[in-house]
Structure formats: structure tokens, C-alpha cells
């Protein structure tokens, strides 16, 4: 399907837990199995997921807290191969379909690239690793260098709407999500950061 460049889709207002400009995706260490927490800038946990869900052939489910009683975000796999992964983002609490996040296959071989589309397949934003040079250094020389990603409107490579930055640390993964402009729904921005961690797009 050919995707046309368009503006961000307009779902309903995000629930209060997602009405923030900064989030942190933090892997808990010294646990049985991999666990991720989604935190706001003041440290409040608004999401939680476990390693057993992190399989390419399954959906990725984010819960309200560690009790795993309430789903607050669902990343539904429509293509399961990491090379060409595609996920639909759904808010189970509002039953909203927030669009799709898809990896750009061969284009991501050297430098990670993803696209954001609405439910009709129209591209409205794209994510790229910070630079080709740094991407090559990370892949072939110094894998410990933290990764930085930029989300921009489709067709506007100079704009900066969302940043996802990996922190330098020896144990566990941590990603900081900063929403500069409301191009992405906060739920979609968080979903993207979770995918980058789960699918290994950034270094371990």
C-alpha cells in the first residue's frame, strides 16, 4: 500500500497517565527475567512489562503497574520479523487505535529507521538514528556508545519533535523520551521507545 504524507492523526485525548512531555523507559536489574518500567519525570510509574511478553510472535502488553491487572497499552504485531517489524498501537482503556509503527527494512541495516502511520497507512512521521557515522561506529567499533533517535514530521528532515535517548550505563537499559512538539501522541512515543528496547534496535 502506498502511504501518503499527512499530518498526525487525531485520536481522543490521552488518559491522564500519558499527559506528560517526558518519560523514562527503565529496565529493572537483578530480577528474574527482564522487566521494564515506564516512568514520568517525577518518577511515577505509569507502565510495566515483563520479558515473557517480549517475543516477536506475540503482542507486547504494557500494564498499569507490576500487579499486571490492567493493560494500558498494547502493541499488536502485524508482522513478526524484526527485519520488517510492524506493530499497531492500541489503548485498551479507551479502545483507541492509534496507528502503526513499522521498521523500514533494508533502510535500517546501517541506520535505524522507522515510520509512523495512521490507521489508513498514511505516513505522518519518521524516526531515525542520530547519524550514519555514529550508527556505523556503534555497529562495528564501539557498541557501548548510547544511541539517540529523532522523530520528525514526514517530509521535514530539519524539524525535531521527539527525542529518544539511551543513557550510558553498565547494567540494564534506560531510555529518556522527550516530546518537544505534539507530533506523536504520548502513547505512541512511549510505544516506540519500548519497541527499540524490546527488539534490540539499540545496543544492550
Please state the domain count of the chain.
1
Q: pTM of the full predicted structure? A: 0.85
> Cβ distance 18 to 179 under 8 Å?
no
Residue 34, in any domain of the structure: yes
Domain with 86 in it: 16-198
Residue 184, in any domain of the structure: yes
| SS3 assignment, position 10 | coil
Residue 204, in any domain of the structure: no
CATH number at residue 92: 2.40.160.200
Residue 9, in any domain of the structure: no
Residue 203, in any domain of the structure: no
Higher pLDDT, 18 or 34: 18
Chain segment 99-132, per-residue pLDDT in tens: 999 988 656 566 788 999 999 999 999 998 875 5
CA distances to 22, 32, 157, 159, 179 from 163, in Å: 10, 30, 14, 11, 7
Which residues, 6 or more positions from 2, have their beta carbon under 8 angstroms from its beta carbon?
Answer: none
Chain segment 69-108, per-residue pLDDT in tens: 999 999 998 876 666 789 999 999 999 999 999 988 656 5
Residue 59, in any domain of the structure: yes
Amino acid at each position: 500500500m502506498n502511504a501518503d504524507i499527512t499530518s498526525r492523526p487525531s485520536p481522543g485525548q490521552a488518559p491522564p497517565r500519558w499527559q506528560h512531555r517526558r518519560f523514562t523507559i527503565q529496565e529493572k536489574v537483578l530480577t528474574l527475567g527482564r522487566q521494564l518500567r515506564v516512568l514520568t519525570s517525577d518518577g511515577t510509574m505509569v507502565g510495566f512489562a515483563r520479558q515473557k511478553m517480549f517475543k516477536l510472535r506475540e503482542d507486547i502488553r504494557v500494564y498499569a503497574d507490576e500487579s499486571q491487572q490492567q493493560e494500558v497499552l498494547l502493541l499488536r504485531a502485524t508482522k513478526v520479523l524484526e527485519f520488517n517489524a510492524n506493530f499497531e498501537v492500541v489503548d485498551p482503556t479507551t479502545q483507541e487505535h492509534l496507528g502503526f509503527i513499522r521498521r523500514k527494512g533494508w533502510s535500517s541495516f546501517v541506520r535505524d529507521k522507522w515510520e509512523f502511520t495512521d490507521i489508513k497507512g498514511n505516513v505522518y512521521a519518521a524516526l531515525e538514528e542520530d547519524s550514519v557515522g555514529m550508527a556505523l561506529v556503534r555497529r562495528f567499533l564501539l557498541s557501548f556508545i548510547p544511541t539517540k533517535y529523532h522523530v520528525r514530521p514526514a517530509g521535514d528532515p530539519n524539524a525535531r519533535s521527539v527525542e529518544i535517548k539511551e543513557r550510558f550505563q553498565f547494567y540494564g537499559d534506560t531510555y529518556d523520551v522527550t516530546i518537544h512538539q505534539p507530533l506523536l501522541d504520548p502513547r505512541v512515543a512511549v510505544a516506540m521507545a519500548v519497541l527499540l528496547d524490546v527488539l534490540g534496535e539499540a545496543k544492550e
